[in-house]
């Protein structure tokens, strides 16, 4: 069958099946079956089993359920409230301080859990009422929570980074470490925006009185265990003491200890709920990966990524223009797909182009994850909208979307800065011990 026809059937068929509402994993799986039948005949269908079983030959992927379990245990530990308390006591006095505290708290929570949705939900449940009670404009309070939750995807440990690293065969440890400075950059950009809003429109973000230093340090003292967990998980990867999978295992155990400590004893219900939710999330995530890898395998059989790469590399245009095209493509995909699907669907197609043009794969991983975060707060489908809407049921969805709009622009500013100054993403990994 002609290559262009296979590509056409792939795109049109997949879009059609996805639009019917069939779960993404099965849409990918079904279209792979159709394409295998068309290109390879019945004999080609054996590939489905080998692609499905293929995920079990990747020890790196073991980190996915473990980090998800760690995030769920932390979520159920109730430590989110304390983190927000800490951030608001330290940062609340600044203009726009409570919104900045929300961003800081989401950053810390992301470093402990790796879960963007859990970050928005956990911090948002405390931060939104707090900000609204203190007279913060509604769109600012909603937008800051929805956007800052996404920091978890960038700041290690990040599950989407693991998926990207596994598909593109890049070091997960380097990708994790590469996300630290860009994560801090996003926090700074958001904070500057809040500072500007606080100064320019004081009525939108009323200033809080300062908190005595004694109170600030008291709350700091209560968070030694989570701080230890973050230090261990990130530190052990950076120093090469542990692989990401190992740090995920120990992180999950540490999170269990924190949960037990915070609730002053073993809580079987909370542990069971954490495991249950982790099984659910891991299951759907990795089944999408199975579907996407099978789909990518069919595309590779038809030489589609190879031809696309050869064509794009040969275009008589600057590689920055192609990068801009990739960026637009990611933005469009992010409008319709969740982070996991975005990464597993686009990486097999785009990654060879990026490498062919001589871009750094670790740097591209950071750009990709930033686009995942943008997609999570971009209509028509932004997962974080639903989380924030769930926290404030009486708020119209349009307010949540409006609140996220400035943060979409700020995320794009971060993408531009990292694109122009790639060392922000690549310097720290280059200093790693292993």
Partner 1 sequence: MGVISAVGEFLARAVRTLNRAGAVIAGAAMVFMALGVSYEVVSRHFFNAPTKWVFEGGEIALTVSVFLAAGYILERERHVRMDLLTGRLREKVRNTLFLAVYPMGLAFSLLLLSTGYSGVKWSIDLGARTFIMGIPIAIPQAMVPIGGFLLSITFIYRWFQLLAAVRGRDSTAPSEPGQH
Which residues bind to partner 1, rule: CB under 8 A? 17-27, 29-30, 32-33, 45-46, 48-50, 52-53, 55-59, 61-62, 65-66, 69, 241-242, 245-246, 248-250, 252-253, 256, 275-276, 278-280, 282-284, 286-288, 290, 336-338, 340-341, 380-381, 383, 386
The continuous run of DSSP H or E covering 289 comes out as: helix 268-301
Least distance in Å: CB of 338 to partner 1? 6
Q: 26 or 320: whose CB is closer to partner 1? A: 26
Cα gap 365→189, rounded to integer Å: 20
Q: 23 or 129: whose CB is closer to partner 1? A: 23
- Which segments of 114-179 does DSSP mark as H helices, in order? 116-133, 138-149, 151-154, 159-168, 172-178
Neighbours of 135 (CB within 10 A): 13
Least distance in Å: CB of 393 to partner 1? 16
Residues for the chain: how many in total? 434
Cα gap 339→93, rounded to integer Å: 34
Q: 33 or 219: whose CB is closer to partner 1? A: 33
Q: Three-state SS for 136?
A: coil
Cα gap 76→263, rounded to integer Å: 10
- 194-224 exposure pattern, b = at least 16 Cβ within 10 A, e = fewer: bbebbeeeeebbbbbeebeeeeeeebeeebe
In the structure encoding, which two tokens stand for residue 373, read together? 């975060």
Place of tokens 């340090």: 217
Least distance in Å: CB of 248 to partner 1? 7
Least distance in Å: CB of 307 to partner 1? 27
Q: 93 or 386: whose CB is closer to partner 1? A: 386
Least distance in Å: CB of 120 to partner 1? 14
Q: How far is CA 57 from CA 169, 298, 371, 430, in A?
A: 13, 20, 29, 28
Q: How far is CA 255 from CA 114, 203, 229, 242, in A?
A: 12, 40, 8, 17
Q: 67 or 136: whose CB is closer to partner 1? A: 67
Q: 96 or 150: whose CB is closer to partner 1? A: 150
- Which segments of 41-150 does DSSP mark as H helices, in order? 46-54, 63-77, 79-91, 97-113, 116-133, 138-149
Cα gap 222→125, rounded to integer Å: 20
Least distance in Å: CB of 13 to partner 1? 11
- 376-388 exposure pattern, b = at least 16 Cβ within 10 A, e = fewer: bbbeeebbbbebb
Q: 49 or 311: whose CB is closer to partner 1? A: 49
Cα gap 390→123, rounded to integer Å: 13
Q: 182 or 375: whose CB is closer to partner 1? A: 375
Q: 296 or 410: whose CB is closer to partner 1? A: 296
Least distance in Å: CB of 254 to partner 1? 9
Least distance in Å: CB of 410 to partner 1? 23
Q: 170 or 341: whose CB is closer to partner 1? A: 341
Q: 54 or 305: whose CB is closer to partner 1? A: 54
Least distance in Å: CB of 236 to partner 1? 8
Phi, psi of 338 (to 5 degrees): -75, 170
Cα gap 321→259, rounded to integer Å: 49
Least distance in Å: CB of 71 to partner 1? 13
Least distance in Å: CB of 112 to partner 1? 16
């Amino acid at each position: 069958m002609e290559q262009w026809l296979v590509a056409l059937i792939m795109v049109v068929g997949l879009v059609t099946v996805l639009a019917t509402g069939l779960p993404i994993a099965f849409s990918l799986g079904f279209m792979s079956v159709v394409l295998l039948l068309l290109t390879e005949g019945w004999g080609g269908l054996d590939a489905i089993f080998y692609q499905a079983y293929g995920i079990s030959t990747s020890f790196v992927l073991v980190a996915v359920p473990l980090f998800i379990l760690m995030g769920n245990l932390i979520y159920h530990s109730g430590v989110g409230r304390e983190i927000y308390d800490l951030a608001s006591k330290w940062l609340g006095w600044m203009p726009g301080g409570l919104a900045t505290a929300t961003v800081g708290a989401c950053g810390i929570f992301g470093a402990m859990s790796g879960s963007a949705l859990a970050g928005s939900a956990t911090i948002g449940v405390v931060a939104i009422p707090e900000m609204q009670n203190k007279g913060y404009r509604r769109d600012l309070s909603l937008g800051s929570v929805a956007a800052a939750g996404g920091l978890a995807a960038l700041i290690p440990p990040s599950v989407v980074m693991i998926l990207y690293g596994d598909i593109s065969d890049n070091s997960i440890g380097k990708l994790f470490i590469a996300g630290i400075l860009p994560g801090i950059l996003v926090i700074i950009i958001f904070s500057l925006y809040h500072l500007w809003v606080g100064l320019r429109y004081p009525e939108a973000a009323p200033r809080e009185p300062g908190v005595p230093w004694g109170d600030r340090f008291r709350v700091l003292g209560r968070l030694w265990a989570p701080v230890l967990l973050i230090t261990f998980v990130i530190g052990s990867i950076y120093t090469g003491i542990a692989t990401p999978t190992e740090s995920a295992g120990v992180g999950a155990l540490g999170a269990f200890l924190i949960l037990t400590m915070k609730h002053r004893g073993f809580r079987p219900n909370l542990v069971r709920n954490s495991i249950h939710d982790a099984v659910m999330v891991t299951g759907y995530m990795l089944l999408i990966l199975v579907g996407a890898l099978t789909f990518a395998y069919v595309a590779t059989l038809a030489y589609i990524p190879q031809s696309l790469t050869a064509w794009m590399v040969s275009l008589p245009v600057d590689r920055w223009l192609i990068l801009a095209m990739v960026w637009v493509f990611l933005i469009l995909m992010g409008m319709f797909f969740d982070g996991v699907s975005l990464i597993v669907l686009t990486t097999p197609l785009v990654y060879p182009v990026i490498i062919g043009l001589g871009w750094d794969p670790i740097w591209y991983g950071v750009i990709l994850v930033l686009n995942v975060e943008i997609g999570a707060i971009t209509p028509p489908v932004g997962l974080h909208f639903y989380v924030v809407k769930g926290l404030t049921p009486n708020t119209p969805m349009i307010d949540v979307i409006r609140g996220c709009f400035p943060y979409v622009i700020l995320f794009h500013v971060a993408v531009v800065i990292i694109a122009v100054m790639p060392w922000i993403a690549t310097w720290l990994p280059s200093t790693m011990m292993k």
